[in-house]
């Protein structure tokens, strides 16, 4: 198939989403498909520092020169998408793809009309309507005006959890669940170095998140640190001004090498702790799969189908008060697992990107052939 991957992320900034996108594209190309990317970046993009896999056959990155430099944030995001559609339309008309694979985004004027001319599979990673309650009024307004129109043009839906998948059943189109996967071989070197960390006396516990995403639960992570002075806690990717504790370290954004160095000494990985804040029960975060690929035991507070029944995962309740009532269970879990490394032979069958991308291509082919 000739596939165009449409996404509204910045492909000049390393992120878990971009890593997933590159992994998907690499596998699709290896399976004999031709993949192009059309990117509607939410922020001004540096075209000289694109971090897409070199396996892409072509890239379309509309960057409007008519939007003044002082226009930023949500206003720039919306205007750049609307203006950029013309260039993407021309790109698609030239390519005539067999299928468009689109990462879910908030609808906007002209998008559904453009997509209606093609076969489109949409990947959804969240309950978008509920997540937008945590964001700006502009995004919620666009959702109210254009999302139903957008969904009506989609030919097939992929949800990363059953909960997300089920919201699309009402549209009468093919739906399936494919959770996030990861290539565990990419983390082999760091995983092996972790076996020689020296069994430091204090446990090192890490939470990797993103700014402005309250459901990651950085406040709960801090509460955990308050209750466990015998361990060191490392918060990555989220700023926490004014937070001061001898055992709580705020690292902010770390590039790949710096993050891997921190993983090298980590004992426990902590996933999302407050998913209830966007009215969700299920998730399959990429960062948690990264923890797993590195052999880290994990603490999470949501349902993850890939890790159910695994003794190296401590699952807390998905509610506001999930730390204090379970603090002794957390402490016991950390003491039990802090010097242990989960075998890749255990992890690979749970999160194998090969299995998940094979299933994704099968679904895409099914939709394309209808």
The CATH number for 241's domain is 3.40.50.2000
pTM: 0.84
Residues 140-150: what's their mean pLDDT?
87
3-state secondary structure 11-25: CCCCCHHHHHHHHHH
Token representation of residue 5: 């991957």
pLDDT value at 344 more than 80: yes
Phi and psi angles of residue 148, each rounded to the nearest 5 degrees, phi first: -60, -40
Beta strands in the chain (DSSP E): 2-7, 34-39, 58-60, 99-103, 120-124, 156-159, 175-177, 204-208, 232-236, 248-252, 268-270, 298-300, 313-315
CA-closest candidate to residue 94, choices 4, 9, 1, 22: 4
In this prediction, residue 128 has a pLDDT band, given cuts at 50, 70 and 90, of confident
- Same-domain status, 150 and 261: no
* CA atoms of 284 and 307, how far apart (whole Å): 9
31 shares its domain with 94: yes
How many degrees, rounded to 5, is the angle at CA 153 between CA 148 and CA 159?
Answer: 75
202 and 225 part of one domain: yes
Give dist(CA 42, CA 39) in Å, integer.
Answer: 9
Tell whether 75 and 195 lie within a shared domain: no
* Residues 203, 96 within the same domain: no
Q: Are residues 132 and 15 in the same domain?
A: yes
| Spatial contact of 267 and 339, defined as CB atoms under 8 Å apart | yes
- Whether 33 and 176 map to the same domain: the answer is yes
pLDDT bucket at 199, cuts 50 / 70 / 90: low
Name the domain count of the chain: 2
**In this structure, are 210 and 336 located in the same domain?**
yes
Whether 86 and 204 map to the same domain: the answer is no
> What residues make up the domain containing 208?
184-350
Residue pLDDT, tens place only, 103-112: 999 889 999 9
Mean pLDDT across 185-194: 76
Please, are residues 193 and 254 in contact by the beta-carbon 8 Å criterion? no
Short-list 123, 124, 100, CA closest to 6: 100
Task: With a cut of 60, say whether residue 245 has pLDDT above it.
Answer: yes
Q: Map tokens 């959702």 to a residue.
A: 143
Same domain, 34 and 139: yes
How many beta carbons lie within 10 A of that of residue 98, not counting itself?
A: 17
* pLDDT at 190 (0 to 100): 78
CB half-sphere exposure, 279, CA atoms < 13 A:
9
Whether 147 and 20 share a structural domain:
yes
The reply to whether 72 and 191 lie within a common domain is no
**42-75 pLDDT per residue, tens:** 777 788 889 999 999 999 998 766 677 666 777 7
């Amino acid at each position: 198939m000739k596939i165009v991957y449409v996404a509204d992320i910045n492909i000049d900034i390393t992120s878990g989403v971009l890593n997933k996108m590159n992994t998907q594209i690499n596998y699709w190309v290896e399976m004999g498909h031709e993949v192009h990317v059309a990117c509607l970046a939410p922020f001004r993009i540096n075209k000289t520092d694109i971090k897409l896999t070199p396996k892409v056959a072509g890239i379309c990155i509309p960057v409007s020169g008519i939007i003044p430099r002082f226009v930023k944030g949500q206003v720039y995001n919306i205007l750049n998408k609307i203006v950029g559609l013309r260039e993407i339309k021309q790109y698609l008309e030239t390519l005539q793809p067999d299928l468009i694979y689109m990462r879910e985004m908030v609808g906007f004027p002209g998008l559904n009309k453009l997509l209606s001319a093609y076969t489109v599979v949409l990947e959804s990673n969240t309950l978008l309507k509920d997540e937008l309650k945590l964001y700006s009024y502009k995004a919620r307004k666009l959702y109210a005006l254009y999302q139903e129109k957008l969904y009506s043009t989609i030919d097939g839906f992929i949800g990363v959890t059953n909960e997300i998948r089920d919201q699309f059943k009402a549209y009468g189109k093919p739906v399936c669940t494919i959770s996030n996967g990861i290539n565990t071989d990419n983390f082999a070197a760091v995983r092996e170095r972790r076996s020689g960390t020296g069994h430091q006396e204090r446990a090192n516990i890490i939470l990797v998140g993103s700014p402005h995403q309250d459901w990651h639960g950085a406040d709960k992570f801090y509460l955990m640190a308050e209750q466990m002075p015998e361990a060191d806690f490392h918060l990555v990717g989220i700023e926490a001004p004014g937070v001061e504790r001898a055992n709580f370290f705020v690292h902010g954004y770390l590039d790949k090498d710096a993050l891997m160095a921190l993983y090298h000494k980590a004992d426990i990985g902590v996933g999302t702790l407050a998913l209830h804040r966007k009215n969700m029960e299920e998730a399959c975060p990429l960062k948690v799969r990264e923890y797993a690929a590195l052999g880290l035991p994990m603490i999470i507070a949501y349902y993850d189908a890939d890790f159910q029944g695994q003794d190296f995962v401590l699952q807390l309740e998905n509610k506001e008060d999930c730390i204090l009532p379970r603090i002794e269970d957390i402490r016991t879990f950390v003491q039990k697992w802090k010097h242990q490394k989960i075998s890749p032979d255990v992890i690979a069958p749970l999160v194998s990107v090969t299995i998940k991308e094979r299933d994704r291509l099968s679904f895409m082919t099914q939709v394309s052939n209808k």
